């Protein structure tokens, strides 16, 4: 079930909200049961079989965290149980997400023809697995006490707003909210507005920009040009931001409607002035997860230079692999790892002295190039796309087709570029504070237009659902 669907907006959400708010706010336990049942129904809507996999993950990590805590309480370290838990979690994730990739890689290297049955990837498995692992790690480190209520832990892991595509929520950030959270009319209104604006990002901007990129990348080679392919990747650059940040906005808004407060997942990444800055702003919950549970345990930057470089390469290769079972994602992650190393040890000090316009241009071009490898799983095709972007081979700089796409899509590209900066949102917030009626009317207009797009538009799932 998609947030951006008629079924969710007009059936699932209103019914869940009605039942939830009919229960007095003092009876948090009963409200938690409503949310858990709704979350399990939400997940099973599209993949009822894989509901049992998620439930197993919840029970297994719940049980192992208690085992680790009990062992430590009686003088043990809990390391064996921690290692066992991590291995099981990664084996489950690896089997469903990477088994086919592994078999294909062995086939390409050895020439053996290994026949296997492709399994559908359980939606959200990367997200809820990482959440479960972060909880177990935090119990092991003593950052949180184990949750002895299986119902409460299952709610944490399966809560439908952030279940399928994040943000990745650490248990310690919502531990107190599970038992004691505030639901007010103001909070509900803020959450509703956030959800609607996120919906608008997805169905009005991301879907239109995605269609533009698909059209351009599907054109025959004889019609392409340097400018045209830059227009195409610019469209994808905006699409993936509005698609994923729109989902995060909806998740954060939904959480607030039920009284939960989640951390932000995006902070206007396209205004970044370095790649380091970009990754402080993009998918912040994932970056934080890898920094806290992989990078720092490896030694972080408190090691010798050669080891620090290795740590960065390991973390960013894993980050790439997390996004998908394909070598293009590994290359995408390693690409960023190398750039972060270069910024740290080679040209970062010179970049700091450069004009702001140059630093922003540098960052956005680097990021746009990265999205080529992200969007095209075939590395040879990705390299061909890049070759055209940089004018390599027999390709024109600009042609009639490029002029056509500029003329017909200038508005959506310009609006997208503008909305990707803080200026429109800050102006809207200022307007909402000064003239709440006008602000509410604008939010309602976004809702009406979004619903119209849902009714008359085509099905277009969130990009991050495949991860």
The number of angstroms, rounded, from the C-alpha of 192 to the middle of its chain's C-alpha atoms is 21
Give 161-185 as a DSSP string: HHHTT-----HHHHHHHHHS----H
Report the distance separating Cα 159 and Cα 196, nearest Å. Answer: 19
Report the distance separating Cα 451 and Cα 320, nearest Å. Answer: 34
Which residues, 6 or more positions from 139, have their beta carbon under 8 angstroms from its beta carbon?
A: 65, 68, 69, 145, 146
- Nearest 5°: CA angle at 281, between 279 and 285? 85
Report the distance separating Cα 445 and Cα 171, nearest Å. Answer: 36
Tokens of 364: 């956005």
Q: Is the dihedral of CA 160, 161, 163, 164 positive or negative?
A: positive
Select which of 69, 283, 308, 323 is catalytic: 323
The single residue listed with the structure tokens 């500029």 is 406
Tokens of 66: 């208690």
- Asked whether 318 and 290 are in contact (CB, 8 A), the reply is yes
Report the distance separating Cα 71 and Cα 419, nearest Å. Answer: 52
Report the distance separating Cα 153 and Cα 64, nearest Å. Answer: 12
Report the distance separating Cα 336 and Cα 373, nearest Å. Answer: 11
Nearest alpha carbon to residue 213 among 78, 348, 26, 413 = 413
What is the 8-class DSSP label of residue 297?
Answer: T
Tokens of 324: 């998908």
Active site residue 323: yes
- Nearest 5°: CA angle at 195, between 194 and 199? 115
Report the distance separating Cα 167 and Cα 246, nearest Å. Answer: 11
Radius of gyration of the chain from its Cα atoms, rounded to whole angstroms: 23
Give me the phi and psi of 25, to 5 degrees please: -65, -20
Active-site residue set: 323
């Amino acid at each position: 079930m998609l947030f951006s669907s008629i079924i969710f907006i007009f059936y699932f959400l209103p019914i869940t909200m009605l039942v939830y708010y009919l229960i007095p706010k003092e009876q948090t336990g009963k409200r938690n049961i409503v949310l858990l049942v709704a979350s399990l129904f939400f997940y099973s809507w599209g993949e009822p079989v894989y509901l049992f996999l998620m439930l197993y993950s919840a029970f297994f990590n719940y049980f192992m965290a208690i085992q680790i805590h009990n062992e430590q309480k009686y003088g043990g370290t809990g390391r064996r149980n921690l290692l066992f838990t991590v291995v099981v979690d990664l084996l489950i994730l690896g089997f469903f997400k990477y088994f086919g990739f592994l078999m294909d890689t062995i086939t390409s290297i050895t020439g053996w023809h290994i026949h296997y049955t492709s399994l559908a990837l359980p939606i959200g498995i990367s997200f809820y697995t990482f959440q479960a692992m972060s909880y177990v790690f935090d119990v092991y480190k003593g950052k949180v006490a184990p949750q002895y209520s299986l119902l409460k832990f299952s709610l944490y892991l399966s809560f439908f707003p952030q279940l399928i595509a994040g943000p990745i929520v650490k248990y310690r950030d919502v531990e107190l909210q599970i038992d004691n959270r505030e639901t007010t009319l103001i909070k509900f209104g803020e959450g509703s507005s956030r959800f609607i604006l996120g919906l608008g990002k997805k169905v009005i901007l991301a879907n239109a920009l995605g269609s533009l990129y698909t059209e351009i990348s599907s054109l025959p080679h004889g019609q392409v040009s340097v400018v045209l392919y830059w227009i195409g990747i610019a469209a994808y650059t905006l699409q993936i931001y509005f698609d994923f940040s729109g989902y995060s906005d909806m998740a954060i808004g939904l959480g607030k409607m039920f009284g939960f407060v989640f951390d932000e997942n995006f902070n206007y990444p396209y205004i970044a002035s370095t790649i380091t800055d970009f990754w402080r702003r993009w998918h912040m919950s994932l970056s934080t997860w890898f920094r806290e549970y992989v990078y720092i345990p490896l030694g972080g930057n408190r090691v010798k230079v050669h080891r620090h470089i290795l740590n960065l390469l390991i973390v960013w290769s894993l980050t790439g692999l997390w996004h998908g079972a394909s070598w293009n994602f590994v290359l995408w992650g390693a690409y960023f790892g190398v750039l972060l190393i270069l910024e740290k040890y080679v040209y970062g000090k010179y970049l700091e002295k450069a004009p702001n316009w140059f630093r922003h241009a540098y960052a956005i071009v680097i990021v746009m190039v990265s999205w080529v490898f992200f969007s095209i799983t075939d590395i040879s095709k990705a390299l061909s796309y890049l070759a055209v972007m940089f004018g390599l081979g027999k390709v024109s700089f600009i042609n009639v087709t490029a002029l056509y796409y500029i003329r017909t899509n200038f508005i959506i590209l310009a609006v997208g570029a503008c909305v990707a900066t803080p200026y429109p949102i800050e102006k809207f917030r200022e307007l909402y504070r000064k003239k709440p009626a006008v602000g509410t009317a604008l939010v309602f207009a976004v809702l009406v237009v979004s619903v119209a797009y849902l009714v008359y538009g085509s099905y277009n799932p969130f990009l991050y659902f495949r991860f």
